[in-house]
Amino acid sequence: MLLITTLRRLSMANVKPSIVFVLGGPGSGKGTQCAKIIKEFGYVHLSAGDLLRTERDIPGSRYGDLIEKHIRNGTIVPVEITCNLLHAAMNNSRKDRFLIDGFPRNQDNLEGWNREMAAKVNLQFVLFFDCNEQVCIDRCLKRGSSGSGRSDDNEESLKKRFITYFKDTLPIVDHYQKQNLVRKIDANSSEDTVFEEVKKCFKEVMYSTLHMLWKQSVVTGWKTTSWQQIHKNSSSTFLKKTW
Ligand SMILES: Nc1ncnc2c1ncn2[C@@H]1O[C@H](COP(=O)(O)OP(=O)(O)OP(=O)(O)O)[C@@H](O)[C@H]1O
Ligand SMILES: Nc1ccn([C@H]2C[C@H](O)[C@@H](COP(=O)(O)O)O2)c(=O)n1
Protein backbone atom coordinates (compact mmCIF):
# COMPACT_ATOMS: atom_id res chain seq x y z
CA MET A 1 0.00 0.00 0.00
CA LEU A 2 2.76 2.38 1.06
CA LEU A 3 4.65 1.48 -2.07
CA ILE A 4 1.85 2.43 -4.40
CA THR A 5 1.18 5.64 -2.53
CA THR A 6 4.84 6.45 -3.00
CA LEU A 7 4.63 5.58 -6.67
CA ARG A 8 1.71 7.92 -7.02
CA ARG A 9 3.59 10.71 -5.26
CA LEU A 10 6.49 10.14 -7.64
CA SER A 11 4.06 10.51 -10.52
CA MET A 12 3.02 13.85 -9.13
CA ALA A 13 6.54 15.14 -8.59
CA ASN A 14 6.37 16.65 -12.02
CA VAL A 15 2.85 17.78 -11.57
CA LYS A 16 0.69 18.79 -14.45
CA PRO A 17 -3.02 18.34 -13.96
CA SER A 18 -4.40 15.18 -15.57
CA ILE A 19 -7.29 15.60 -17.95
CA VAL A 20 -9.84 13.26 -19.44
CA PHE A 21 -12.00 14.78 -22.17
CA VAL A 22 -15.54 13.36 -22.21
CA LEU A 23 -17.32 13.51 -25.56
CA GLY A 24 -20.50 12.07 -27.05
CA GLY A 25 -23.78 13.24 -28.55
CA PRO A 26 -26.32 15.35 -26.65
CA GLY A 27 -28.01 13.00 -24.17
CA SER A 28 -25.46 10.20 -24.58
CA GLY A 29 -25.00 10.19 -20.80
CA LYS A 30 -21.79 12.19 -20.34
CA GLY A 31 -22.97 14.04 -17.23
CA THR A 32 -24.60 10.95 -15.71
CA GLN A 33 -21.45 8.87 -16.08
CA CYS A 34 -19.17 11.70 -14.91
CA ALA A 35 -21.16 11.85 -11.66
CA LYS A 36 -20.41 8.15 -11.13
CA ILE A 37 -16.74 8.45 -12.11
CA ILE A 38 -16.04 11.22 -9.60
CA LYS A 39 -17.43 9.05 -6.77
CA GLU A 40 -15.42 6.01 -7.77
CA PHE A 41 -12.18 7.55 -8.98
CA GLY A 42 -12.03 11.00 -7.42
CA TYR A 43 -11.78 13.31 -10.43
CA VAL A 44 -13.28 16.81 -10.52
CA HIS A 45 -16.10 17.08 -13.06
CA LEU A 46 -16.10 20.23 -15.18
CA SER A 47 -18.92 20.42 -17.71
CA ALA A 48 -18.31 23.05 -20.37
CA GLY A 49 -22.08 23.31 -20.94
CA ASP A 50 -22.76 23.84 -17.19
CA LEU A 51 -20.02 26.47 -16.94
CA LEU A 52 -21.49 28.31 -19.92
CA ARG A 53 -25.04 28.15 -18.47
CA THR A 54 -23.74 29.48 -15.14
CA GLU A 55 -21.95 32.34 -16.90
CA ARG A 56 -25.09 33.09 -18.96
CA ASP A 57 -27.15 33.35 -15.77
CA ILE A 58 -24.88 35.87 -14.04
CA PRO A 59 -26.77 39.16 -14.04
CA GLY A 60 -24.98 41.63 -16.30
CA SER A 61 -22.64 39.03 -17.83
CA ARG A 62 -21.28 40.50 -21.06
CA TYR A 63 -21.49 37.05 -22.65
CA GLY A 64 -24.99 36.06 -21.45
CA ASP A 65 -26.90 36.81 -24.66
CA LEU A 66 -24.23 35.35 -26.91
CA ILE A 67 -24.11 32.12 -24.90
CA GLU A 68 -27.89 31.73 -24.89
CA LYS A 69 -28.03 32.28 -28.67
CA HIS A 70 -25.51 29.50 -29.22
CA ILE A 71 -27.22 27.14 -26.77
CA ARG A 72 -30.61 27.52 -28.46
CA ASN A 73 -29.12 27.18 -31.94
CA GLY A 74 -27.02 24.18 -30.94
CA THR A 75 -23.90 25.98 -32.14
CA ILE A 76 -20.62 26.36 -30.28
CA VAL A 77 -19.59 29.38 -28.20
CA PRO A 78 -16.20 30.92 -29.17
CA VAL A 79 -13.38 29.08 -27.43
CA GLU A 80 -11.93 32.14 -25.65
CA ILE A 81 -15.03 32.24 -23.42
CA THR A 82 -15.20 28.49 -22.74
CA CYS A 83 -11.48 28.00 -22.27
CA ASN A 84 -11.29 30.88 -19.78
CA LEU A 85 -14.17 29.40 -17.80
CA LEU A 86 -12.49 25.98 -17.76
CA HIS A 87 -9.13 27.44 -16.78
CA ALA A 88 -10.67 29.43 -13.92
CA ALA A 89 -12.63 26.41 -12.67
CA MET A 90 -9.48 24.27 -12.71
CA ASN A 91 -7.50 26.88 -10.77
CA ASN A 92 -10.29 27.44 -8.25
CA SER A 93 -10.68 23.73 -7.53
CA ARG A 94 -7.03 23.36 -6.44
CA LYS A 95 -7.25 19.71 -7.55
CA ASP A 96 -5.14 17.92 -10.11
CA ARG A 97 -7.45 15.55 -12.01
CA PHE A 98 -10.30 16.71 -14.18
CA LEU A 99 -13.03 15.24 -16.33
CA ILE A 100 -13.70 17.91 -18.94
CA ASP A 101 -17.17 17.12 -20.22
CA GLY A 102 -18.40 18.42 -23.59
CA PHE A 103 -15.12 19.91 -24.74
CA PRO A 104 -13.42 20.26 -27.25
CA ARG A 105 -16.54 20.29 -29.42
CA ASN A 106 -15.21 21.77 -32.67
CA GLN A 107 -12.03 22.88 -34.43
CA ASP A 108 -12.14 26.33 -32.77
CA ASN A 109 -12.35 24.65 -29.31
CA LEU A 110 -9.46 22.35 -30.19
CA GLU A 111 -7.20 25.10 -31.53
CA GLY A 112 -7.94 27.42 -28.59
CA TRP A 113 -7.23 24.65 -26.09
CA ASN A 114 -4.00 23.70 -27.89
CA ARG A 115 -2.92 27.35 -27.89
CA GLU A 116 -3.66 28.12 -24.25
CA MET A 117 -3.84 24.92 -22.23
CA ALA A 118 -2.51 21.78 -23.88
CA ALA A 119 1.09 22.26 -22.76
CA LYS A 120 0.01 22.88 -19.16
CA VAL A 121 -1.85 19.57 -18.72
CA ASN A 122 -1.43 15.85 -19.19
CA LEU A 123 -4.22 14.56 -21.45
CA GLN A 124 -4.80 10.99 -20.25
CA PHE A 125 -7.40 9.96 -22.81
CA VAL A 126 -10.71 10.87 -24.46
CA LEU A 127 -13.74 9.02 -23.13
CA PHE A 128 -16.21 8.79 -26.01
CA PHE A 129 -19.83 7.77 -25.42
CA ASP A 130 -21.14 6.26 -28.61
CA CYS A 131 -24.93 6.37 -28.60
CA ASN A 132 -27.66 6.04 -31.22
CA GLU A 133 -29.13 9.42 -32.25
CA GLN A 134 -32.76 8.44 -31.56
CA VAL A 135 -31.84 7.06 -28.11
CA CYS A 136 -30.13 10.37 -27.32
CA ILE A 137 -33.07 12.45 -28.59
CA ASP A 138 -35.58 10.41 -26.54
CA ARG A 139 -33.45 10.86 -23.41
CA CYS A 140 -33.16 14.63 -23.89
CA LEU A 141 -36.89 15.04 -24.59
CA LYS A 142 -37.67 13.01 -21.48
CA ARG A 143 -35.22 15.16 -19.53
CA GLY A 144 -37.00 18.27 -20.88
CA SER A 145 -40.48 17.01 -20.02
CA SER A 146 -39.30 16.07 -16.51
CA GLY A 147 -38.45 19.71 -15.89
CA SER A 148 -34.75 20.14 -16.77
CA GLY A 149 -35.50 23.79 -17.57
CA ARG A 150 -32.92 23.63 -20.37
CA SER A 151 -33.76 25.85 -23.32
CA ASP A 152 -32.29 23.24 -25.69
CA ASP A 153 -34.15 20.09 -24.59
CA ASN A 154 -36.68 20.47 -27.42
CA GLU A 155 -36.97 18.93 -30.89
CA GLU A 156 -35.95 22.06 -32.76
CA SER A 157 -32.76 22.67 -30.77
CA LEU A 158 -31.93 18.96 -30.74
CA LYS A 159 -31.98 18.80 -34.56
CA LYS A 160 -29.48 21.64 -34.65
CA ARG A 161 -27.34 20.16 -31.86
CA PHE A 162 -27.05 16.90 -33.78
CA ILE A 163 -26.06 18.71 -36.97
CA THR A 164 -23.24 20.36 -34.98
CA TYR A 165 -22.34 17.06 -33.34
CA PHE A 166 -21.98 15.17 -36.64
CA LYS A 167 -20.35 18.00 -38.56
CA ASP A 168 -18.06 19.53 -35.91
CA THR A 169 -17.61 17.21 -32.91
CA LEU A 170 -17.08 13.79 -34.51
CA PRO A 171 -14.07 15.10 -36.48
CA ILE A 172 -12.51 16.05 -33.12
CA VAL A 173 -13.04 12.49 -31.87
CA ASP A 174 -11.37 11.28 -35.11
CA HIS A 175 -8.49 13.65 -34.50
CA TYR A 176 -7.80 12.07 -31.10
CA GLN A 177 -8.49 8.58 -32.45
CA LYS A 178 -5.57 9.06 -34.83
CA GLN A 179 -3.40 9.67 -31.75
CA ASN A 180 -4.75 6.47 -30.19
CA LEU A 181 -6.24 8.45 -27.31
CA VAL A 182 -9.91 7.51 -27.66
CA ARG A 183 -11.66 4.98 -25.39
CA LYS A 184 -15.04 4.27 -26.95
CA ILE A 185 -17.94 3.13 -24.76
CA ASP A 186 -21.26 1.76 -26.02
CA ALA A 187 -23.65 4.16 -24.28
CA ASN A 188 -26.97 2.70 -25.49
CA SER A 189 -27.60 0.41 -22.52
CA SER A 190 -28.62 1.09 -18.93
CA GLU A 191 -26.67 3.54 -16.76
CA ASP A 192 -25.18 0.72 -14.69
CA THR A 193 -24.14 -1.38 -17.68
CA VAL A 194 -22.46 1.63 -19.25
CA PHE A 195 -20.69 2.36 -15.98
CA GLU A 196 -19.26 -1.17 -15.82
CA GLU A 197 -17.53 -0.45 -19.15
CA VAL A 198 -16.37 2.94 -17.92
CA LYS A 199 -14.86 1.42 -14.79
CA LYS A 200 -12.93 -1.15 -16.82
CA CYS A 201 -11.50 1.62 -18.91
CA PHE A 202 -10.34 3.77 -15.95
CA LYS A 203 -8.81 0.76 -14.20
CA GLU A 204 -6.85 -0.19 -17.31
CA VAL A 205 -5.48 3.32 -17.62
CA MET A 206 -4.58 3.46 -13.92
CA TYR A 207 -2.82 0.12 -13.96
CA SER A 208 -0.86 1.02 -17.05
CA THR A 209 0.21 4.32 -15.40
CA LEU A 210 1.23 2.50 -12.23
CA HIS A 211 3.15 0.00 -14.30
CA MET A 212 5.02 2.74 -16.12
CA LEU A 213 5.93 4.42 -12.81
CA TRP A 214 7.02 1.14 -11.31
CA LYS A 215 9.28 0.50 -14.32
CA GLN A 216 10.76 4.00 -13.93
CA SER A 217 11.41 3.43 -10.24
CA VAL A 218 13.27 0.22 -11.10
CA VAL A 219 15.33 2.02 -13.72
CA THR A 220 16.39 4.67 -11.22
CA GLY A 221 17.49 1.92 -8.83
CA TRP A 222 14.71 2.40 -6.30
CA LYS A 223 14.11 -0.82 -4.35
CA THR A 224 10.65 -2.12 -5.04
CA THR A 225 8.50 -5.13 -4.64
CA SER A 226 7.65 -7.09 -7.78
CA TRP A 227 5.00 -5.73 -10.14
CA GLN A 228 2.89 -8.82 -9.41
CA GLN A 229 2.86 -7.86 -5.72
CA ILE A 230 1.81 -4.31 -6.49
CA HIS A 231 -0.89 -5.50 -8.86
CA LYS A 232 -2.21 -7.90 -6.23
CA ASN A 233 -2.34 -5.14 -3.60
CA SER A 234 -3.99 -2.52 -5.77
CA SER A 235 -7.57 -3.74 -5.45
CA SER A 236 -10.39 -1.60 -6.76
CA THR A 237 -11.12 -0.45 -3.17
CA PHE A 238 -7.54 0.66 -2.97
CA LEU A 239 -7.72 2.52 -6.28
CA LYS A 240 -10.90 4.25 -5.14
CA LYS A 241 -9.30 5.47 -1.94
CA THR A 242 -5.81 6.33 -3.00
CA TRP A 243 -5.52 6.95 -6.71
N1 LIG B 1 -27.77 4.84 -19.84
C2 LIG B 1 -28.88 5.58 -19.72
N3 LIG B 1 -30.09 5.04 -19.91
C4 LIG B 1 -31.21 5.79 -19.81
N5 LIG B 1 -31.23 7.12 -19.51
C6 LIG B 1 -30.04 7.71 -19.32
C7 LIG B 1 -28.81 6.99 -19.41
N8 LIG B 1 -27.79 7.84 -19.17
C9 LIG B 1 -28.35 9.04 -18.95
N10 LIG B 1 -29.70 8.97 -19.02
C11 LIG B 1 -30.66 10.06 -18.88
O12 LIG B 1 -30.63 10.76 -20.12
C13 LIG B 1 -30.61 12.16 -19.92
C14 LIG B 1 -29.33 12.75 -20.53
O15 LIG B 1 -28.23 12.28 -19.77
P16 LIG B 1 -26.99 13.23 -19.48
O17 LIG B 1 -27.46 14.55 -19.03
O18 LIG B 1 -26.07 12.48 -18.62
O19 LIG B 1 -26.40 13.32 -20.96
P20 LIG B 1 -25.32 14.32 -21.54
O21 LIG B 1 -24.57 13.57 -22.57
O22 LIG B 1 -24.54 14.96 -20.45
O23 LIG B 1 -26.28 15.38 -22.22
P24 LIG B 1 -25.98 16.87 -22.73
O25 LIG B 1 -24.86 16.81 -23.70
O26 LIG B 1 -27.27 17.24 -23.39
O27 LIG B 1 -25.68 17.71 -21.53
C28 LIG B 1 -30.72 12.38 -18.43
O29 LIG B 1 -32.08 12.63 -18.12
C30 LIG B 1 -30.26 11.07 -17.81
O31 LIG B 1 -30.88 10.79 -16.59
N1 LIG C 1 -17.58 23.24 -25.58
C2 LIG C 1 -18.88 23.67 -25.54
C3 LIG C 1 -19.83 23.00 -24.77
C4 LIG C 1 -21.13 23.45 -24.77
N5 LIG C 1 -21.47 24.52 -25.50
C6 LIG C 1 -22.85 25.03 -25.53
C7 LIG C 1 -23.55 24.58 -26.79
C8 LIG C 1 -24.19 23.29 -26.37
O9 LIG C 1 -25.26 22.90 -27.22
C10 LIG C 1 -24.66 23.68 -24.98
C11 LIG C 1 -24.99 22.55 -24.08
O12 LIG C 1 -23.87 21.79 -23.79
P13 LIG C 1 -24.05 20.35 -23.07
O14 LIG C 1 -24.65 20.61 -21.74
O15 LIG C 1 -24.92 19.55 -23.97
O16 LIG C 1 -22.68 19.77 -22.98
O17 LIG C 1 -23.61 24.49 -24.46
C18 LIG C 1 -20.51 25.17 -26.25
O19 LIG C 1 -20.81 26.15 -26.93
N20 LIG C 1 -19.22 24.74 -26.24
Which of 23, 139, 143 has the most ligand 1 atoms within 8 A of CB, as the residue to mutate? 139
Query: For residue 127, which of 54, 200, 72 has the smallest C-alpha distance?
Result: 200
**Known binder of ligand: residue 62?**
no
**Known binder of ligand: residue 97?**
no
CA torsion through residues 119, 21, 67, 32, sign: negative
Which of 21, 23, 28, 32 has the most ligand 1 atoms within 8 A of CB, as the residue to mutate? 32
Residue 9 pLDDT level (bands cut at 50, 70, 90):
low
Q: Which residues share a beta bridge with 163? A: none
Q: Residue 153: is its pLDDT beyond 80? A: yes
Closest ligand 1 atom to the C-alpha of 101?
A: 22
Q: Residue 242: is its pLDDT beyond 50? A: no
Say what the pLDDT of residue 184 is. Answer: 98
Pairing outcome for strands 44-47 and 97-101: parallel
- Strands across the sheet containing 97-101: 44-47, 97-101, 18-24, 122-130, 182-186
ipTM of the complex: 0.99
Give tens-digit pLDDT for 102-144: 999 999 999 999 999 999 999 999 999 999 999 999 999 999 9
For domain 17-213, which CATH number applies: 3.30.1370.30, 3.60.21.10, 3.40.50.720, 3.40.50.300? 3.40.50.300
Q: Residue 50: is its pLDDT beyond 80? A: yes
Measured between alpha carbons, how far is residue 155 from residues 131, 162, 195 in Å?
18, 11, 28
Average pLDDT of the residues of the chain: 90
**Known binder of ligand: residue 81?**
no
Between 122 and 9, the higher pLDDT residue: 122
Give tens-digit pLDDT for 52-94: 999 999 999 999 999 999 999 999 999 999 999 999 999 999 8
* Ligand closest to CA 53: 2
